[in-house]
Amino acid sequence: MPSGLRRAVGTVRWYVRELLDESAYDRYVAHTRSHDPAVSVPSRREFERMRTDRQESDRPGGFHCC
């Protein structure tokens, strides 16, 4: 694959991950480890559950799709 195409694919992949917030767990792990390397980091599944719980508790009446 030519380097220009590879770079374009990488840019699109990065953009989609940011747009869909797929990189939130990666940022969370990096932040947690940089502040306290000895702390236990939750799995991706546990992180997503915590995130969903927080989002549901922030909205009056619970979760709303729209």
pLDDT for the residue 53: 87
* pLDDT on residue 11: 94
CA distance 33 to 50: 18
* Residue in 25, 27, 30, 31 with CA at minimum distance from that of residue 44: 25
CA 22, 23, 27, 28: dihedral to nearest 10 degrees?
20
Mean pLDDT, rounded, of the chain: 86
pLDDT digits (tens, 9 = 90+) for 24-40: 999 999 999 999 989 99
Residue 62 pLDDT more than 60? no
C-alpha distances (whole Å) from 26 to each of 4, 15, 20, 31, 57 are 26, 15, 13, 9, 23
Mean pLDDT score, 43-54: 91
Check pLDDT > 90 for residue 60. no
